[in-house]
Chain A
Amino acid sequence: RKEVEQDPGPFNVPEGATVAFNCTYSNSASQSFFWYRQDCRKEPKLLMSVYSSGNEDGRFTAQLNRASQYISLLIRDSKLSDSATYLCVVNRGNNNDMRFGAGTRLTVKP
């Protein structure tokens, strides 16, 4: 079993839709959590950190459930520019050791 698992996708949604991605992690000692976005043939870029209380950045909302070892990302009012692969990332806490999920691909269509 992989340490970080994500919805396999792909997700194909119309503009304006709301889409949710899920992620689970197996290392209970993990200390910090992130969502990164990766465009085709580009490097990953930080989308947002994920906090226990949940956090929102515009159309994006991230949630963390430590008890269930579960992270989510909600995108509201999807835009064409949201099309990308979304990577769930868990920091194990030792030596800044980041573990990535395989990513979920999102395509937003007109």
Chain B
Amino acid sequence: ETGVTQSPTHLIKTRGQQVTLRCSSQSGHNTVSWYQQALGQGPQFIFQYYREEENGRGNFPPRFSGLQFPNYSSELNVNALELDDSALYLCASSVPLAGEDTQYFGPGTRLTVL
């Protein structure tokens, strides 16, 4: 196991609602990245948090937002849910040291938007 945990494991929402997903990083990891994985696709980078600041963002609209807390856990918030937001949401923690950039994934939250 990677030591990265996510909650909840599954979630069902309806269009227009808001959702908050949570991630606890591996001990000692100060960086959390979030990914969206649609069925049959690879994970798509949403954004990354490093020491409580956003540290890079993929091609996702502003209704995808996040937070990182002093203990390095993180939240992903999605407002105004759309049907296409249905996916597996993965967080990955890492320590971006020179020569070591491996990311370790949590089990994911499966979001279904009806």
Contact = CB atoms under 8 A, between A and B. Distances in A.
B105 A100 contact: no
A50 to B, nearest CB: 12
B56 A96 contact: yes
Given A4-B42, A42-B107, A102-B42, A97 B101 contact: no
Contacts of B55: 95-96
Report the contact-size class of chain A (Cβ under 8 Å from the partner). 20 to 34
Contacts of A98: 33, 45, 92, 103
A100 B101 contact: no
Contacts of A49: 102
A29 B41 CA distance: 24
A43 B108 contact: yes
A4 B45 CA distance: 13
Contacts of B41: 102-103
Among B45, B106, B107, chain A packs the most CB atoms within 10 A around the CB of: B45
Nearest to A46: B102
A39 B6 CA distance: 18
A94 B50 CA distance: 13
Given A96-B101, A98-B33, 20 more contacts: A4-B42, A34-B102, A42-B107, A43-B90, A43-B105, A43-B108, A44-B105, A46-B102, A46-B104, A87-B42, A91-B101, A95-B56, A96-B31, A96-B96, A98-B45, A98-B92, A100-B42, A100-B44, A102-B41, A103-B41
